[in-house]
């Protein structure tokens, strides 16, 4: 499996890169990245039921839609993103469990014991969620991705994901509502145990290095041809109103 590192913190680029790897590549990959402040809703969600658009505009929080289902999430540089992409095969764990067990193993090395929840998410021992996940399947090709809260701006998260109409509003046919959960930053958890928590950039580097060590693989990226196609998907889909506001 390849460990791919994004060269960008732009949400449009990274969402386009996920689709590119999923639909135009045949590699088995774990793609990791961080985004600038943004809200990313699931493919079958209504932005108006999930997002406070006025707040996002006032605080420079971009709004995007991804190709997978699931609920709305907040991204910033304190939130690490992982995306396992590959081809399903018999006799192997579903990608959901595979990548979550990997993250549990990696975080154990930092004395942060996580456990898997009933919705295929990750929780601290103090019962706060630190990772939500979503998946997209086409034929035998599978994409499973999620977030990992290390030191995200939780006050901004809570405001950005508080739609004025609320989730109790009428949902259209096929529209999926998010399921809110209590959340906490991993950095706060480490500090609450009496230990020093590394700065976000430092911990991200250590986290990537540990993933590389556990997977016993090399890190890679995208060549010039890859970037041309990723930018095409970004411009033609991920950053268009037709896609972002489709529901």
Q: How far apart are CA 210 and CA 198, in angstroms?
A: 15
Q: Using 50, 70 and 90 to split pLDDT, how confident is the model at 166?
A: low
Best-predicted range by mean pLDDT among 65-74, 86-95, 177-186? 65-74
What class does CATH assign to 2-244? alpha beta
Spatial neighbors of 116 by CB under 8 A, at least 6 apart, are: 97, 100, 101, 104, 122, 123
* Per-residue pLDDT reduced to its tens digit, 91-121: 566 677 889 999 999 999 999 999 999 889 9
Positive/negative CA dihedral, 157, 145, 168, 172: positive
The fraction of the chain above a pLDDT of 90, given in percent, is 83
Share of the chain above pLDDT 70, in %: 94
Q: Output the pTM of the full model.
A: 0.92
Residues 40-69: tens digit of each pLDDT: 999 999 999 999 999 999 999 999 999 999
Q: How far apart are CA 68 and CA 65, in angstroms?
A: 9
Q: How confident is the model at residue 174 (pLDDT cuts 50, 70, 90)?
A: low
- Asked if 67 contacts 43 with a C-beta cutoff of 8 angstroms, the reply is yes
Sheet containing 62-65: which strands, arranged edge to edge? 62-65, 38-41, 73-75
Q: 228 vs 91, which has greater pLDDT?
A: 228
* Weakest-pLDDT range from 32-36, 112-116, 178-182: 178-182
**What is the model's pLDDT at position 162?**
85
From CA 57, how far away is CA 63, in angstroms rounded?
A: 9
Domain boundaries, given as residue ranges, for the chain: 2-244
**What's the chain's average pLDDT?**
92
Helical (H) or strand (E) element with 58: helix 53-58
The residues facing 60 across adjacent strands are none
């Amino acid at each position: 499996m390849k460990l791919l590192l994004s060269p960008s913190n732009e949400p449009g680029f990274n969402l386009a890169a996920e689709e590119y790897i999923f639909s135009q590549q045949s590699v088995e990959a774990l793609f990791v990245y961080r985004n600038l402040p943004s809200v990313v809703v699931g493919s079958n969600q209504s932005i108006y039921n999930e997002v406070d658009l006025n707040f996002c505009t006032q605080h420079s929080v971009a709004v995007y839609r991804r190709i997978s289902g699931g609920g709305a999430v907040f991204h910033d540089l304190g939130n690490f993103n992982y995306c396992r992409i590959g081809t399903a095969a018999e006799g192997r764990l579903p990608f959901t469990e595979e990548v979550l067990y990997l993250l549990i193993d990696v975080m154990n090395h930092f004395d942060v014991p996580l456990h898997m929840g009933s919705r295929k998410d990750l929780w601290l021992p103090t019962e706060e969620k630190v990772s939500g996940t979503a998946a997209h399947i086409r034929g035998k090709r599978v994409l499973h991705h999620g977030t990992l809260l290390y030191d995200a701006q939780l006050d901004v998260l809570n405001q950005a994901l508080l739609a004025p109409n609320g989730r109790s509003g009428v949902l259209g046919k096929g529209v999926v509502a998010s399921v809110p959960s209590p959340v906490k930053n991993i950095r706060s958890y480490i500090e609450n145990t009496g230990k020093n928590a590394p700065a976000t950039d430092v911990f991200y580097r250590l986290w990537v290095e540990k993933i590389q060590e556990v997977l016993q693989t090399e890190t890679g990226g995208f060549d010039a041809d890859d970037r041309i196609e990723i930018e095409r998907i970004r411009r033609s889909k991920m950053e268009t109103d037709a896609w972002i506001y489709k529901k």
